[in-house]
Structure 1
Amino acid sequence: MTKTLTNMSKFGELIDVDKPVLLDFFTEWNEQSTAMHPVLRDVAAALGDKAKVIKIDVDKNQELAEALRVKGLPTLIIYKNGEMKWRHSGEQDANTLIGIIQEYV
């Protein structure tokens, strides 16, 4: 299941866990961003409780997006134990993302 972050103060809690957390920075008006939603659902379903997938609306979390220097959309970032492990701007397919996340499980 994918979740949507709406509160920046929870960000530290979200990423400081011992399983990989895939963050998807998106906006509703960006076609590439919205095209990633079904892909992320597939990734979340495939990984189950081994990882988290969290969507972050840049329009509602501008401070966080600026802090992480998110420029292109979508921007995908994987954290584990509070540490950034991987980052990519642009679309990715589900199988590639699943493979990358499994490296950190």
Structure 2
Amino acid sequence: MAESVTVTQDTFRSSVIDAGRPVIVDFWASWCGPCRQMEPVLDSIAEDYDGRVTVAKVNVDEERLLASMYQIMSIPALLVFKDGHKVAELHGKQSRAALAETLDALV
């Protein structure tokens, strides 16, 4: 069973920028209702795209500098990276279909 990876400022480069596959980064917080609603959707994406896409999570309360670097003003915010570059940005609660459509264009 594929799981998401927790990313910090120290591991962002190795886990996201230097990853050999697309990475969807979920900027979230434990107090955010829509963020909690996204969790099963992202778990499903991690499972279905295992080996092709990495799902990474950044807690904005713990990683304020990282959230600031990517100008995260509201959560949930989902940034998609490929080959070290941000290629898509989605804000708010997203459907599984919308995420799959974005990822299918990259894999």
| TM band (smaller chain) | over 0.9
Q: Does 1:36 align with 2:38?
A: yes
CA-based RMSD of the aligned residues comes to 1.0
**1:64 corresponds to 2:66:** yes
Gaps of 5+ in 1: none
Name stretches of at least 5 consecutive residues in structure 2 with no aligned partner.
Answer: none
Say whether residues 1:22 and 2:24 are aligned partners.
yes
TM-score normalised to the size of structure 2? 0.92
* Aligned positions, number: 104
Contact kept, 8 Å, 1:47 with 1:98, in 2: the verdict is no
Please tell me whether residue 9 in structure 1 is matched to residue 21 in structure 2. Answer: no
SS at match of 2:45: helix
Greater share of helix:
1
Q: TM-score, normalized by length of structure 1?
A: 0.94
Q: Percent identity?
A: 26
Aligned equivalents of 1:81, 1:9: Cα separation in 2: 19
**Paired position in structure 2 for 1:75:** 77
Q: Moved runs in structure 1, 4+ residues, more than 3 A?
A: none
